[in-house]
């Protein structure tokens, strides 16, 4: 009975399902063609949509480009509106020193310097350097305000330039480039300080430019020195600087330099200065400075070496007021400074170590007095940033005729 | 001091004076020649060594591809500031690329004025750094091959530094620093663009 009922049920389901099975049969070719046509239409519609989207993306790109250009142009207009500010640059440097020496124990903000430069046109520009020394300036104060540079430079061509005004003379390594981040040792080296004498500026004019690949020259006619002729500082070159402050201008000077920088990290240069009379008409003492130096930094290794020599005229008959009478007809100095610089593990910035041997004699012309000064400096510089430096050095002197001044120095400096 | 020694010293001094006189004469002659050279120099555009367009033409052998622009989006700003020491004063940077080679025209201030530089990077290596326009009167040594050749084949480290030391030029520290930054920037930007590197 049950089997009968089951058989009837199956038969009934089959009968009911037959028309459905007949409807699911494969479509005819005509029906297929219609389906394909419809799908093709859909594809074409999608294609059009895609093209429209691409077009919109392209348009958006163009709009973004135009918007970018407009923003950049607007920024450019703002900067043009402020063209005076754009053509005027401010920079500077400073150095704080602590000296613990036999001669003194003191802390001093030695130099605070500001540069103001202005570009008048593509070919004419102005440079200046204003310095406050020893933090406080005024009557009975230790410091002074000094104008070290104020000159106009003209381009004669892409490689030749003329300049006029008050400027640093092209002599030695430090005289023109003396930002604290650029040299080792807290204080500037004694040879360039006492012989050249750094920092040395005069008023005048001249030319500088490129001679050939790596070779350059400077030649200037300027105001000159006016040295003391008596007392302990007689004929000391450093004390003869007039600093272009109501300076006597009876006799000027000519300075020239030839420099070779034809290899990365290597500078070789020689300078010559001649002055007809360093007493400005009083005694007719002519003087010549010869200086030569090498400044090398190849990879981590550095070497600076410099020789400088002054020759002052002496009379046929030497009298008390003659430079030869105090042995200052010859003043000579030299130094050599090897160094090494690099990064230290993962410590940010760079560390450099150096040693310097300095020899100088401002009484070299004396045949009776031992006056040679010798000083060894060893120390390190740490640059946490290329424009910021912390310094330490120890100095040991071995002087022939003067008391030794030994000890150590600490310093910090910056430039911007 | 014995008289003989004094004579020797005087003789030495005379020789030295003669040497200085010769040196002075030589220097004066050189400077006269210089003056002649200065005033015979033909005037030309201030420090223009190659037009930027000519540089791009030269890099792509006379058939440069169309320029593209890399937008300086937010993720790029921090590393760029780290490299340059300041934000880039541009919303996008144009570049030209073909077969893995990417060319850039970039600018950075040396002492007071911008140095326009053409840089070519090929598959992550610097292939060429050329100063196109130098506008200042000091630091011009950086435009010479003896300086720019140091960049050839340099790559960028993970810290966005060059993989080698670039020896500087005394008196041109800021120009050297500007070119080094631009070389690092070009390598970094090249990492951000897709190039059709051939197999």
Residues 6+ away with beta carbon under 8 Å from A197: A237, A238, A241
Domain span at A366: 76-415
Q: Average pLDDT of each block of 10 consecutive residues along chain B (199 residues)?
A: 56 60 62 56 62 95 93 92 90 92 94 92 95 89 92 94 91 92 96 73
Give the gap in angstroms from C-alpha A401 to the nearest C-alpha of chain B.
18
Interface touch B140/A210, C-beta < 8 Å: yes
ipTM of the complex in this document: 0.72
pTM, whole model, 2 decimals?
Answer: 0.78
Query: A274 to chain B: nearest residue by CA?
Result: B24
CATH code: domain of residue A365 = 2.40.160.10
Q: Residue A399 falls within a domain, yes or no?
A: yes
Partner residue facing A158 (CB), from B34, B35, B47: B47
Partner residue facing B41 (CB), from A89, A160, A256: A160
pLDDT for residue B42:
41
Query: B166 to chain A: nearest residue by CA?
Result: A299
pLDDT for residue B22:
64
Query: CA-CA distance, B43 to A155, in Å (whole number)?
Result: 10
Instruction: Using alpha carbons, select from A321, A328, A240, A247 the residue that is nearest to residue A284.
Output: A321
Torsion on CA atoms A206, A113, A181, A242, rounded to nearest 10: 50
Query: A343 to chain B: nearest residue by CA?
Result: B165
**A87-to-A84, A130, B45, B132, B140 alpha-carbon distances in Å:** 5, 19, 19, 21, 20
Tell me if chain A has a CB within 8 Å of the CB of B46. Answer: yes
Residues 6+ away with beta carbon under 8 Å from A139: none
Query: A88 to chain B: nearest residue by CA?
Result: B112
Identify all chain B residues contacting A262, using CB atoms and an 8 Å cutoff.
144, 146
Contact A365, A401 (CB under 8 A): no
Identify all chain A residues contacting B35, using CB atoms and an 8 Å cutoff.
207
Identify all chain A residues contacting B169, using CB atoms and an 8 Å cutoff.
261, 264-265, 267
Chain B interface, best mutation among A213, A261, A370, A388, by max B CB count within 10 A: A261
Tell me if chain A has a CB within 8 Å of the CB of B34. Answer: yes
Partner residue facing A267 (CB), from B31, B137, B170: B170
Query: CA-CA distance, A208 to A220, in Å (whole number)?
Result: 8
Identify all chain A residues contacting B174, using CB atoms and an 8 Å cutoff.
none
Interface touch A367/B170, C-beta < 8 Å: no
Query: CA-CA distance, B61 to B133, in Å (whole number)?
Result: 21
Tell me if chain A has a CB within 8 Å of the CB of B38. Answer: yes
pLDDT for residue A111:
96
Query: A341 to chain B: nearest residue by CA?
Result: B165
Q: Give the DSSP per-residue string, A210-229.
A: EEETTEEEEEEEE-------
Query: CA-CA distance, A191 to A309, in Å (whole number)?
Result: 10
Q: Would you mind telling me the total number of residues written for chain A in this entry? A: 416
Query: CA-CA distance, B169 to A168, in Å (whole number)?
Result: 20
Give the bridge partners for A127, in sequence order: A151
Interface touch B167/A295, C-beta < 8 Å: no
Tell me if chain A has a CB within 8 Å of the CB of B94. Answer: no
Query: CA-CA distance, A25 to A207, in Å (whole number)?
Result: 101
- Structurally, chain A folds into a number of domains equal to 1
Instruction: Using alpha carbons, select from B147, B159, B160 the residue that is nearest to residue B186.
Output: B160
Query: A215 to chain B: nearest residue by CA?
Result: B141
Interface touch A157/B44, C-beta < 8 Å: yes
Query: CA-CA distance, B141 to B175, in Å (whole number)?
Result: 9
Give the gap in angstroms from C-alpha B61 to the nearest C-alpha of chain A.
27
Residue B160 main-chain phi, psi, to 5 deg: 60, 35
Interface touch B113/A119, C-beta < 8 Å: yes
Q: Residue A53 falls within a domain, yes or no?
A: no
Q: Give the DSSP per-residue string, A119-150.
A: ESSSSEEEEEEEEEESS-BSTT-SBEEEEEEE
Other C-beta atoms within 10 Å of A196: how many? 26
Contact A67, A60 (CB under 8 A): no
Query: CA-CA distance, A241 to A181, in Å (whole number)?
Result: 26
pLDDT for residue A208:
96
Instruction: Using alpha carbons, select from B174, B97, B180, B186 the residue that is nearest to residue B135.
Output: B174
Q: Residue A1 falls within a domain, yes or no?
A: no
**Interface contacts A/B by beta carbons within 8 Å:** 115
Q: Residue A45 falls within a domain, yes or no?
A: no
Tell me if chain A has a CB within 8 Å of the CB of B42. Answer: yes
Contact B163, B184 (CB under 8 A): no
Interface touch B31/A219, C-beta < 8 Å: yes
Count how many Cα atoms sit within 13 Å of the Cα of residue A159 in the half-sphere of its side chain.
Answer: 20
Q: Residue A314 falls within a domain, yes or no?
A: yes
Strands A373-385 and A388-397: antiparallel
Q: Give the DSSP per-residue string, A326-357.
A: GTTTEEEEEEEEEEEEEEETTEEEEEEEEEEE
pLDDT for residue B45:
44
Instruction: Using alpha carbons, select from A341, A354, A238, A342 the residue that is nearest to residue A305.
Output: A354
Interface touch A264/B45, C-beta < 8 Å: no
Q: Residue A17 falls within a domain, yes or no?
A: no
**DSSP H stretches of helix in B41-96:** 52-59, 74-84
Interface touch B135/A122, C-beta < 8 Å: yes
**B60-to-B75, B82, B101, B103, B123 alpha-carbon distances in Å:** 30, 31, 9, 9, 15
Query: CA-CA distance, A368 to A363, in Å (whole number)?
Result: 10
Residues of chain A with pLDDT under 70: 1-24, 72-83, 317
How confident is the model over A201-248, as pLDDT tens digits?
999 999 999 998 889 999 999 999 999 998 889 999 999 999 999 999
Identify all chain A residues contacting B84, using CB atoms and an 8 Å cutoff.
none
Interface touch B135/A297, C-beta < 8 Å: no
Interface touch A290/B20, C-beta < 8 Å: yes
Would you call A414 helix, strand, or coil by DSSP?
strand
Q: Residue A58 falls within a domain, yes or no?
A: no
Interface touch B140/A214, C-beta < 8 Å: no
Q: Residue A29 falls within a domain, yes or no?
A: no
Chain A interface, best mutation among B171, B172, B181, by max A CB count within 10 A: B171
Q: Return residues 143-172 of B near A (CB < 8 Å).
A: 144, 146-147, 150, 165-172
- In A156-300 the beta strands, taken as DSSP E runs, fall at 160-168, 201-212, 215-222, 253-263, 266-275, 287-298
């Amino acid at each position: 009975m049950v089997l009968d009922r089951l058989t009837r049920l199956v038969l009934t389901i089959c009968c009911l399902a037959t028309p459905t099975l007949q409807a699911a049969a494969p479509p005819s070719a005509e029906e297929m063609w219609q389906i394909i046509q419809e799908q093709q239409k859909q594809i074409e519609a999608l294609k059009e949509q895609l093209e429209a989207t691409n077009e919109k993306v392209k348009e958006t790109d163009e709009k973004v480009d135009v918007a970018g250009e407009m923003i950049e142009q607007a920024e450019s207009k703002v900067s043009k509106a402020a063209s005076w500010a754009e053509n005027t640059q401010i920079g500077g440097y400073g150095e704080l020193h602590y000296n613990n020496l036999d001669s003194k124990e003191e802390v001093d903000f030695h130099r605070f310097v500001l540069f103001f430069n202005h570009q008048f046109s593509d070919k004419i520009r102005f440079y200046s350097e204003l310095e406050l020394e020893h933090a406080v300036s005024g009557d009975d104060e230790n410091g002074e305000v000094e104008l070290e540079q104020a000159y106009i430079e003209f381009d004669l061509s892409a490689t030749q330039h003329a300049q006029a005004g008050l400027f640093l003379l092209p002599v030695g390594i430090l005289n023109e480039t003396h930002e604290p981040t650029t040299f080792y040792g807290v204080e500037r080296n004694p040879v360039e300080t006492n012989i050249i004498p750094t920092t040395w500026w005069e008023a005048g004019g001249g030319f500088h430019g490129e001679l050939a690949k790596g070779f350059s020259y400077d030649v200037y006619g300027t105001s000159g020195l006016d040295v003391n002729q008596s007392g302990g500082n007689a004929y000391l070159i450093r004390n003869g600087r007039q600093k272009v402050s109501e300076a006597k201008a009876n006799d000027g000077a000519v300075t020239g330099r030839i420099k070779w920088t034809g290899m990365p990290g290597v500078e070789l240069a020689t300078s010559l200065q001649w002055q007809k009379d360093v007493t400005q008409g009083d005694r007719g003492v002519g003087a010549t400075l010869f200086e030569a130096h090498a400044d090398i930094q190849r990879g981590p290794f550095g070497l600076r070496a410099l020789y400088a020599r002054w020759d002052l005229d002496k009379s046929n008959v030497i009298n008390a007021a003659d430079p030869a009478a105090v042995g200052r007809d010859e003043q000579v100095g030299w130094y050599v400074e090897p160094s090494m610089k690099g990064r230290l593990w993962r410590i940010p910035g760079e560390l450099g170590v150096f040693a310097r041997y300095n020899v100088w004699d401002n009484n070299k012309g004396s045949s009776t007095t031992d006056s040679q000064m010798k000083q060894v400096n060893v120390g390190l510089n740490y640059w946490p940033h290329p424009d910021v430096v912390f310094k330490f050095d120890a100095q040991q002197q071995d002087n022939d005729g003067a008391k030794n001044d030994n000890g150590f120095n600490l310093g910090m400096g910056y430039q911007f | 001091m014995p008289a003989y020694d004094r004579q020797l010293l005087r003789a030495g001094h005379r020789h030295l004076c003669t040497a200085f006189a010769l040196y002075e004469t030589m220097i004066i002659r050189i400077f006269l020649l210089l003056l002649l050279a200065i005033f015979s120099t033909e005037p030309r555009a201030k420090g223009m060594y190659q037009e930027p367009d000519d540089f791009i033409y030269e890099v792509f052998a006379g058939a440069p591809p169309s320029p593209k622009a890399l937008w300086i989006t937010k993720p790029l700003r921090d590393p760029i500031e780290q490299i340059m020491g300041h934000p880039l004063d541009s919303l996008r940077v144009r570049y030209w690329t073909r077969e893995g080679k990417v060319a850039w025209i970039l600018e950075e201030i040396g002492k007071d004025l911008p140095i326009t530089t053409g840089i070519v990077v090929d598959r992550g290596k610097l292939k060429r750094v050329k100063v196109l326009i130098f506008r200042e009167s000091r630091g011009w040594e950086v435009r010479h091959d003896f300086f720019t050749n140091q960049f050839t084949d340099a790559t960028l480290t993970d810290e966005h530094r060059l993989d080698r030391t670039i020896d500087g030029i005394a008196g041109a520290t800021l120009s050297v620093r500007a070119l080094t930054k631009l070389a690092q920037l070009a390598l970094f930007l090249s990492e951000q663009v897709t190039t059709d590197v051939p197999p």
